[in-house]
Amino acid sequence: MGKTQIGPTTLVYPMPTTLVGADVDGKPNFLAIAWCGIACSQPPMLSVALQPRRYTLRGIKQNMAFSVNVPSVDLVKEADYCGIRSGDKVDKVGVCNFRVFYGNVEGAPLIEQCPVNLACRVVQMLELGSHWLIVGRIEETHVSDDCLTDGRPDVDKVRPFIFIPGPPAHYQAFGDVIARAFSVGLEMER
Amino acid sequence: MGKTQIGPTTLVYPMPTTLVGADVDGKPNFLAIAWCGIACSQPPMLSVALQPRRYTLRGIKQNMAFSVNVPSVDLVKEADYCGIRSGDKVDKVGVCNFRVFYGNVEGAPLIEQCPVNLACRVVQMLELGSHWLIVGRIEETHVSDDCLTDGRPDVDKVRPFIFIPGPPAHYQAFGDVIARAFSVGLEMER
């Protein structure tokens, strides 16, 4: 099987589509970000990568807090819009009709319509180059009641989606379950 | 719409299934990791989160290098196996029949059967708690020739999959394309 080098590039599948929120000058704003990863289990932490020019980053620095909201496929237009326009120019909350609520993390606005909402406090900021990597401690996780099954988050009800860089860049839904984790691999030992 | 707090937890959808590789004491080993995120565009960087006890981490520290390999759905058993067993006990490369190759990053073994392979050099290691966040500069990106269309990576040919923490933890394929990115959001302004 042949391989082609396409130059060093950020090609990992899948990346999520998240809406990262912060209060900027006291008003909630949200930015669509695919570059979000989990960083630690205990304490729970995640990372998001933003360009330093981002309006949202101004708010993150003001409060040293931010949110990560996971939209469902129903919100694909709104999510994409939050990746096209800047909060410096438009009121994204108004245009998208987001109902914003807060937990106990000041400066971390949460979107009611998004099934999963994480409120985070900044732990570290790494200036890496074109992007800053913000590591946040997850202080709260909120899940919409209608996305729970037996009290636990149910991905079939959350219906998140994938960002594919393309070209053409696009969004994909989740597909079929293919295997049980921490289980199917045991077949390798048979 | 009601919300329930499920305690602070690392709930972001989707997370990828990657095989992170390193030469440990001179021999290639691979660990299944879902906690991988992109960290920077210029220079290209990514992050992976590992528990400090991981055998693979020993190799990463020895060479200050590692790889990230994106498996296709055909490799779900092998990928899962690499998340169940430790390289301290078994030869995962042998059990999984991985064909290993190297680019120019010493200590970063790449899996030929995985459609996408990134070779990385360590830039930072953050000791966050239960996990270390390793930030790596992506030095090389290799793509299997049969996963290219017009010279570009084609996700329909790569056929990566998603890790869902559950319970029960499982893997899901990618589903339908739902919208064009940086485009569908403009409908919000109509």
Grade residue A131 by pLDDT with cuts at 50, 70 and 90.
very high
Q: Which chain B residues contact residue A69 at CB under 8 A? A: none
pLDDT exceeding 90 applies to what percent of chain B? Answer: 97
CA distances from A35 to A57, A131, A135, B7, B126 (A): 14, 10, 12, 23, 18
Average pLDDT (A40-48) is 98
Question: Is residue A89 less than 8 Å (CB to CB) from chain B?
Answer: no
Tokens of B23: 């030469």
Chain A interface, mutation test: which of B5, B104, B188, most A Cβ atoms within 10 Å? B188
- Confidence (pLDDT) at B183: 96
Give the pLDDT mean for B145-165.
Answer: 96
**What Å distances lie between residue B54 and A39, B31, B61, B147, CA to CA?**
15, 9, 11, 31
Query: How many angstroms away from the CA of A67 is the closest CA of chain B?
Result: 12
Mean pLDDT to the nearest integer, B8-34: 97
Amino acid at A170: H
> Does residue B167 register a pLDDT over 90?
no
Q: Given a cut of 90, is residue B24 above it in pLDDT? A: yes
**Separation CA B94–CA B91 (nearest Å):** 5
β-sheet bridge partners, residue A143: A116, B4
Check CB contact of A182 with chain B, cutoff 8 Å: yes
The rounded mean pLDDT for chain A is 96
How sure is the predictor about B77, in pLDDT bands with cuts at 50, 70 and 90? very high
Cβ-based burial of B25 (10 A; exposed 0-12, middle 13-18, buried ≥19): exposed
CB A84 within 8 A of CB B182: yes
Predicted TM-score (pTM) above 0.95: yes
Q: What is the mean pLDDT of residues A26-31?
A: 97
DSSP string, A74-97: GGHHHHHHHHHS-TTTS-HHHHHT
Q: Is A168 on the interface with B (CB under 8 A)?
A: yes
Q: Nearest CB to B38: which of A35, A39, A180?
A: A35
On the question of pLDDT at A166 being above 90, the answer is: no
A chain contacts of residue B38, beta-carbon cutoff 8 Å: 10, 12, 15, 34-35, 37, 49
H/E stretch holding A141 reads: strand A132-144
Q: Does B174 touch chain A (CB under 8 A)?
A: yes
pLDDT of residue A141 exceeding 80, the answer is yes
List pLDDT tens digits, range A57-116.
Answer: 999 999 999 999 999 999 999 999 999 999 999 999 999 999 999 999 999 999 999 999
Residues ≥6 apart with Cβ < 8 Å to A27 = A91, A93
Q: What is the pLDDT of residue A96?
A: 97
Q: What is the mean pLDDT of residues A140-169?
A: 95
pLDDT at B141: 98
Evaluate if residue A1 carries a pLDDT over 80. no
The continuous run of DSSP H or E covering A176 comes out as strand A170-180
Chain B: give the shortest CA distance to residue A167, in Å.
8
Q: How far apart are CA B176 and CA B80, in angstroms?
A: 24
pLDDT(B161) > 80? yes
Average pLDDT, stretch A16-38?
97
Which pLDDT score is estimated for B190? 83
Find the mean pLDDT for residues B92-119.
98
Confidence of residue B35 (pLDDT cuts 50, 70, 90): very high
Chain A CB contacts of B77 under 8 Å are 179, 184-185, 187-188
| Proportion of chain A in helix, strand, coil states, percent, rounded to 5 | 20, 45, 35
